[in-house]
Amino acid sequence: MPLTANKNDNKGSAVPELGIPPVDKPEVEAAEIKPAAAESKPAAVTDEVAPQGAVEAAAPAQAECQPKKWPAVISFVITALAWIALPLSEIATLVLGIAGLITSIFALRQPRGAWRNLTLVALVAAAVLLLVLIIFWGGILYVLGTL
């Protein structure tokens, strides 16, 4: 059975390729997660209020997945400075390009999102800059060697 993007095609059927059984009542699974202290309360109260243990357990997991924008911004700024320094000094461009490439690699360790996309842009820009320098100086040295 092919997987489709439409969720209404196969509500009641299982996905055999992934081994996922169909879910009849998602409310039953949510009730099983509630802690033992919440079971003593009336059903009307426990349905409206989230269990305290589940909220406390979810907070650290969400904090770990939050994107960190400063490594992405720093890598982008270093790479932009390297491109700005290109017509001024090849040594500064080389140093800033390598620094931008390294900081971009370290900044990739974050969840997918806008900040990771900015890091990818900085990584590609730093790699292209270093490639430009290598081709430029390689061409100059090759021409000087043939004279």
Average pLDDT estimate for 89-105 = 95
Q: Give pLDDT, residue 24.
A: 65
Please report which confidence band the pLDDT of residue 110 belongs to, taking 50, 70 and 90 as the band edges.
confident
Q: Give pLDDT, residue 13.
A: 60
Q: Give pLDDT, residue 145.
A: 93
Question: Which long-range contacts (C-beta less than 8 Å, at least 24 apart) are formed by 119-126?
Answer: 119/71, 119/72, 119/75, 119/76, 121/76, 122/72, 122/75, 122/76, 122/78, 122/79, 123/75, 125/79, 125/80, 125/83, 125/100, 126/75, 126/78, 126/79, 126/82, 126/97, 126/98, 126/100, 126/101
